[in-house]
Amino acid sequence: ISMQCYWCNIFLLPMSTIKECERVLRTFLWGGRGRAKVKWADVCKPFLEGGLGIHDLKTWNKALLLKHLWSVLTEDSIWAKWCHAYLLHNSNLWTATLHGHLSWSWRQILRLRPLAKEHLIYKCGNGEHFSLWFDPWL
């Protein structure tokens, strides 16, 4: 599973790849003989809900990529500064375009912005880092 975690952290995997990875996991889990005894959705449930705690790869993939988006929004790391300077050209992450010479990985991260926006709200605080126009708020 470590290879899937690595690739899920870098690329938004195509559905065909995710299905193939899940097929390999199912085959390993069931020994490749006969039909599955439990639905795959039940296997992917957390331990406390009766599952085995295996992550759904599609959701896991998006979560790992959203982690990169979150770090660009919140961190003051060298990588986040580089993203703002060279990928966003000091513009807003929410309004950055998908045009130009962007890597495939960065395009996939930017395409996840609507999903991130659904789950983010801002606490205005003193208003220093808050845009009434571009930032999600309640």
Task: Identify which of 75, 74, 61, 40 has the alpha carbon closest to the alpha carbon of residue 115.
Answer: 61
Rounded to whole angstroms, how far apart are CA atoms 112 and 68?
A: 11
pLDDT of residue 112: 92
Which positions ≥6 away from 71 have C-beta within 8 Å? 77, 79, 80
Distance of CA 104 to the CA centre of its chain: 14
Encoding tokens for residue 112? 């996840």
For 113-124, the pLDDT digits (tens) are 999 988 887 666
For 92-105, the pLDDT digits (tens) are 888 888 887 888 88
112 in Cβ contact with 62 (< 8 Å): yes
Phi, psi of 23, rounded to the nearest 5 degrees: -65, -45
pLDDT of residue 10: 81
Q: pTM for the complete prediction?
A: 0.73
In order of 3, 27, 31, 75, 138, the CA distances from 67 in angstroms are 18, 30, 34, 11, 23
Task: Identify which of 49, 67, 71 has the alpha carbon closest to the alpha carbon of residue 59.
Answer: 67
Encoding tokens for residue 32? 């490749």
pLDDT band at 136 (very low <50, low <70, confident <90, very high): low
Instruction: Give the E-state strand segments of the chain in sequence order.
Output: none
